[in-house]
A and B are shown apart, each in its own frame.
Chain A
Amino acid sequence: MTLSLVTGLLIILQAFLVARILNGVLFQKLPVAAFPVEIAALLGAIAARFLTVWATERFGFAAAGKVMRALRAELLDRVEKIGPVGLAETRTGEMVAALADGVRAVEPYYSRYIPASVLAVVLPLAIIVVVFPLDWLSGLVFLVTAPLIPVFMILIGKGAEALNQKQWRRLARMSGHLLDAVQGLATLKAFNAAGRMARQVASVADAYRRDTMAVLRVAFLSSLVLEFFATVSIALVAVFIGFRLLWGEMAFFEGLFILLLAPEFYAPLRAMGTAYHARMEAIGAAERMVAPDDLPALAETGGSTPLPHPERIEIRFEDVHLTFPDGRRALDGVSFTVAPGETVALVGPSGAGKSSLLHLLLGFVKPTSGRVLVNGVPLAELDLAQWRSRIGYVPQRPRLFAGTLASNIAPGEAAPDGERLRQAVAQAGLADVVAAVPGGLDGTLGEGGTGLSGGEAHRLAVARAFYRDAPMIVLDEPTAHLDHESEAQVEAALARLLPGRSGLIAAHRLASISSARRIVVLNHGRIAEEGAATALLAKGGLFARLASGDTELWEAAQ
Chain B
Amino acid sequence: MSDLKRLLSLMRPQAGWMALAVLLSALATLSHIALMATSGWFITAMALAGAAGVSMNYFTPAAYIRGFAISRTAGRYVERLVGHEATLKFVARLRPWFFIRLTPLAPAALEDQRSGDLLARLKGDIDRLEFAFLRILSPLLAGVLVLIVGIWVVARYDAAIAGVLLVAALIAGFGLPALLQRLAAPAAQQVTARTAELNAQLVDHLEGRAELDIYDPQRRHRAALDATSDALITDEKRLAGIAGFGGAGVGLAAQLSLLAVILIGAPQVLAGTLPGADLPMLALLSLALFEAVAPFPLAFQTLPGTLASARRIFSLVDRPAPVAEPATPRHVPAAGALAFSHTGLTYPGAGSAAVTDVSLSLEPGRRIGLIGASGSGKSSLVALALRFRAPSAGTVSFAGTDLDAYGADAWRQRLAVLSQHDHLFSATLRDNLRIAAPEATDAQLAAVLERAGLTAFVAAQPAGLDTFVGAHGAKISGGEARRLGLARTLLKDAPILILDEPTEGLDGETERRVMDGVMGALAADQALLLITHRRARLEAMDEVLLMEEGRITARGAPAEMLRHMERAPGGAG
Contact = CB atoms under 8 A, between A and B. Distances in A.
A156 interface: no
Nearest to A467: B215
B522 to A, nearest CB: 19
Given A22-B262, A246-B56, A350-B507, A175 B102 contact: no
Given A213-B84, A385-B217, 5 more contacts: A182-B122, A198-B99, A243-B46, A255-B43, A411-B216
B211 interface: yes
A133 to B, nearest CB: 19
B100 A198 contact: yes
A189 B412 contact: yes
B267 A242 contact: no
Listed from nearest, the 3 A-B pairs whose CB atoms lie closest are: A57-B244, A185-B106, A184-B423
Contacts of B202: 95-96, 99-100
A395 B279 contact: no
B204 A401 contact: yes
Given A50-B248, A202-B95, A391-B214, A65 B233 contact: yes
Interface string A537-558: 0000000000001111111111
Contact of A191 (B43, B203, B436): B436
Contacts of B107: 185-186
Interface stretch (B86-94, B143-151, B349-357, B390-398): B86-94
A419 interface: no
A220 B80 contact: yes
Most buried by B among A79, A234, A402, A485: A234
A362 interface: yes
Interface string B210-239: 111111111011100110011001101100
B126 interface: yes
Contacts of A185: 102-103, 106-107, 110
Interface in B90-122: 91-92, 95-96, 98-100, 102-103, 106-107, 110, 115-116, 119-120, 122
Interface in A37-90: 39, 42-43, 46-47, 49-51, 53-54, 56-58, 60-62, 65, 68-69, 72-73, 76, 79-80, 83-84, 87, 89-90
B182 interface: no
A181 interface: yes
Nearest to A399: B208
A57 B535 contact: no
B157 interface: no
Interface stretch (B5-13, B249-257, B334-342, B448-456): B249-257
B200 A42 contact: no
Interface stretch (A158-166, A221-229, A497-505): A221-229
A83 B213 contact: yes
Interface stretch (A24-32, A310-318, A434-442, A528-536): A24-32
A93 B409 CA distance: 32
Contacts of A91: 116, 471-472, 474
Nearest to A550: B573
A551 B534 contact: yes
B322 to A, nearest CB: 12
B103 A194 contact: yes
Interface string A191-225: 11111111101100110110011001100110110
B435 A193 contact: yes
B375 interface: yes
17 contacts: A22-B283, A50-B252, A54-B241, A61-B240, A91-B116, A99-B202, A175-B123, A186-B107, A193-B438, A205-B92, A223-B80, A235-B68, A256-B43, A386-B217, A401-B204, A411-B212, A557-B374
